[in-house]
Structure 1
Amino acid sequence: MRNAWRITRWDPGAGTPTYLLASAFTVTPSLCAQATRVDCVIDSSNSIRGTTNFRHFAHAAESLLACWSFFRRYPAARPRLVLKDLRSIDGVIWAESLVRLMGCEVLGGIRAWQYYLPMATLNAAGCAVRGALRQRSGNGYKGREMKWLMSESDASELQQRLHRNHTAGGVLRVGIANRRGSRNLSNVDAVAAALSSALRSVQASSRGGGDGLQHFMRVDVNVVADLGGWTFLEQATWVSAQMLVVMPHGAGSVNYLFARPCTAILEVYPFGYYLPGEYLNLARAVGALGYTAYPGDTPYNDTDRHSSPAARYQARSVSLAPDPARVAEWAVEAVAASAQCRRHQSQGARAPPREAFA
C-alpha cells in the first residue's frame, strides 16, 4: 500500500553479482596463433528489443558495455561490433558517442548478415576471436539484477578516455537531474531548497567531525530540467562532477557509468514500479553508493501487483513528489557515507581484478 516516502541504501546482498563473468559469454577462439581482431556479436538472443534499432539508448548501453568489457580482455586485437540482426545505431546520438569512445568498428544491417560466414572464412580473413553474451544479463528486478561490466576498471578506462572533470576542491556539488514528461519530480524546487538548507546548516556547525562536510567551503545544489537535451559529453561530465546525485528512474540513469567512486546516488521510483537492480547495479559496478526513494514499505510486492503491461505503463506514467525533508536527511547521511567510502579507498581497498577468458 502507499505510504510515506522511504529512503534506503540499496544493498542486494553479498551473494548478488555486480559484474559479468567470463562464463556469461560464448567465445569462439581465433584459428590464428595471435588474434588480430576481436568481434562482439549483438543479436536478438542477448539484447532487449533485439530486432529493432537501438532507439532506447539505455538498452543499447546494456549490450555495448558488455562488449566493451569483452574487448578489453583482448587488448592487442582490433575491436569490432557485429549487429547480427539489428538495423543500426545510426542517429542514436548517445549510443553513437559511446561506440566512438570505445574505439570500435561497427558492422550492422545487411553487412552483418553477409559478415556472418563460417568461422574458418572469418579467421582466414582477419584472425578474429568472436564472442557474444549468452543472454541478456538481467532486468533489474530482485534476483535478476542487471550486470553491465566485468570489472570496475572497465568503467574507469571509459572515464579516463572521456577526460572527465573532477569536483573542484572545497565545493560539495549536489545535482538533481529531473525529467520532462513521466516520472518528473513535480516538487523539484522544494527538494533542492531542502537539500541546500540542510547541508549548509550542518556544514556551518561542523567542527571536524565525521559528517564529511568539514572539508567543503561551500555547497552547490544545481538542478537540470532534463539531461535528454544535452550531448553525451555534457551528460557524462555533469554526473562526474557531482558528489550527490538525485534522479528519477529512467534512461538518463545510464549516465551513472560516469559517476566517480563513492558518489552517493538517490534514484526515485513511482509506486508499483521498483527496479533498483537495473541502473543502481551499474552505479555499484563503478564504485558509487546507491539509494532508493519509494512511496511505500513493500516495493517488490507492489511491483508484482503491477506486472501487466497496462499496469506497468500506468505506474511509470506519473509525476513524483518525494518528501523534501526525507531527501534532506538522506543527503546529510549520504555525505558522511561518501566520506567514509573515500577513507576506505585511501586505505588501499581495491576493486577485484578483471576475469580472463580461458
Structure 2
Amino acid sequence: MVDGSKFIYTNDDNVFPHPPEFQPVSDMISGKIDQTSSTPPVRHYHCPMHHPHFAQEILRCYSFWRSQPDGQPVLLVPRPQFSRFLTNPAEFQRRFPISSGILETLKTKMRLVVTKVYPNATSFKTKDFLEKDNTISPFAIGSRKDAMKFRSMFVPSAESYKNRTLKSSLRIGIVNRAGARSLLNPLDIRNAVIESYPTHQVVLKYFEDNTIEELIEFYSNVDIVISPHGSQLTGIMFMAPCSAVLELFPHNYYTPNYFSSLARIFGLVHLNWYISSSTIPHELDLKTRLANTGNNICPSLNRVVSGVQQMIDYRKQCLSNSI
C-alpha cells in the first residue's frame, strides 16, 4: 500500500489555481451572437462521445440555451460520427446509457431539439477544451445559478443547509472501476472506513452497466465520495452542494484540473491525492497519461481514513458558511 502525496484541497485558489469555472457565454463559443438578427442561433455539437466530454459540451450548451430565453433550444449535429448516436435515441441509449439519459431529460424538461439540419440558423461551436487552450476549465458553465438549474432537472430540491449541517450520520461512497485505474484494495478500504466511522453509512459501488437513474440515486444521496479518476466521477454533478469528493490518481497519471473543475461548478468540496512514491508532477502531457492509463491504485488505509476526516471537516465548514 502506498501513502502517496499529501491531500490537496483544490477549492483553494491560493493553493491550487484554476481557470475560472464560470464564464460568459461569449467566452465559451466561437463567434458573436447578433441579438438583432432574425436568424436563430443554435449550438453545434463537435466533441468526442466519451461521456465526460459529452458532459463538458452539454454544460456549456446549457448556459448558451439559457442565454437565449426566447429561442428554441437546439443541438445541431451535422457530423455523422456524432449524429449516428445523438439523433438515434435507441442506439445512443445502447452505447452510451448515461449520456443518453442526460440528453433525454433535456429533451423532456427543456423541449430540446436534436437534429442533423436546422434551416435558416446560425450555429455556434464551443471553444477549445482545457487540454488545448488552458484558459477555460474543462467543465465550464455560465453561473452557479445555471449549474443549480441544471441539477434540479435531475434531482429534487436538496435538504436545507441547516439540516445537512446537523446531520449526524453521513453516507460515504467508495466508488471503484472494473478496469484501468481501479482500486486494488476496495474491501480493505471499505472495512477501514466502517471501523473508523461506525456511526456513518459506508457503501462500495461499481458503475459498469448502470442506468442514469442508478447513477443519480447514488450520487444525489451520498455526502462523501472516494474514487479513482475516471468517467464515473461525472456523476458528482448530481451531489448536493458542499458534499465532498476525494479523487485518487495513480503513478504517472495526474490531471487535477479536470473533475475538480466540475466539483467547483456544483459547489462541492474537492481534494485530490496522487498515490505514488514519486513527487507530484507539475504537468503530464497526453502521451504520458495514455501510456499509464492502466495503472491501478493501492492506497494506504490510514491515509484514506484521515482523508475521510478532512472531508467531513471541510463539508461541515462549507455548510456552516452557506447557512
Distance 1:261 1:308, change over 3 A: closer
Aligned to 2:187: 189
Deviations 1:231-261 (A, max 9, x none): 1121022111111001110111111111111
Using the alignment, how far apart are the partners of 2:7 and 2:106 within structure 1?
Answer: 35
Residue in structure 1 matched with residue 69 of structure 2 by the alignment: 75
Q: 1:153 aligns with which of 119, 141, 145?
A: 145
| CA distance in 2 between partners of 1:318 and 1:7 (Å) | 20
Give the distance between the partners of 1:263 and 1:245, measured in 2 at CA: 8
Name the amino acid aligned to 1:39.
Answer: V
Are 2:102 and 1:98 aligned? yes
Out of 40, 49, 63, the residue aligned to residue 43 of structure 2 is 40
**Which amino acid in structure 1 is aligned with residue 174 of structure 2?**
I
Equivalent pairs: percent with the same residue?
20
Q: Which has the higher strand share?
A: 1
1:39·1:81 contact (CA, 8 Å) conserved in 2? Answer: yes
Counterpart of 1:40 in structure 2: which amino acid? R
User: Contact 1:155–1:258 (CA<8 Å) still a contact in 2?
Assistant: no
User: Aligned AA for 2:202?
Assistant: V
TM-score by length of 2: 0.82
**RMSD over equivalenced CA pairs, Å:** 2.7
- The Cα shift of 1:164 comes to 3.7
Amino acid at match of 2:216: A
Larger radius of gyration: 1
* Cα distance change, pair 279–334 in 1 and its aligned pair in 2 (3 A): same
1:162 aligns with 2:154: yes
Q: Return the alpha-carbon distance in structure 2 between the equivalents of residues 155 and 222 of structure 1.
A: 27
- Name the CA shift for 1:245/1:179 in 2 (closer, same or farther; >3 Å): same
> 2:234: which partner in 1?
254
- Call closer, same or farther: CA 1:328–1:143 in 2, change over 3 Å: farther
Note the residue ranges of structure 1 that are not aligned, 5 or more in a row.
Answer: 123-128, 201-217, 347-358
Distance (Å, rounded) in 1 between the aligned partners of 2:82 and 2:318: 43
Displacement of 1:321? 0.8
Letter in 2 for 1:6: K
For residues 345 and 38 of structure 1, the distance between their equivalents in structure 2, rounded to whole angstroms, comes to 37
Cα deviations across residues 258-281 of structure 1 (Å, max 9, x unaligned)? Answer: 111111100111111111111111
2:34 alignment partner in structure 1: 29
Matched, 1:319 2:323: no
Per-residue CA distance 1:207-253 (angstroms, 9 max, x = gap): xxxxxxxxxxx3100011x2132111210221111110011101111
Aligned to 1:18: 21
Aligned with 1:149: secondary structure? coil
Once the two structures are TM-superposed, the CA of residue 170 in structure 1 deviates from its matched residue by: 4.4
Question: Conserved in 1, the CA contact under 8 Å of 2:227 and 2:248?
Answer: yes
> Equivalent residue for 1:203?
none
- The 5-angstrom pairing of residues 174-213 of structure 1 reads 174-200=172-198
Q: Distance in 1 between matches of 2:270 and 2:300?
A: 18
Gaps of 5+ in 2: none
Give the AA of the match of 1:19. Answer: F
Number of aligned residues? 296
CA–CA separation in structure 1 for the residues paired with 2:12 and 2:23:
16
- Local SS of the residue matching 1:329: helix
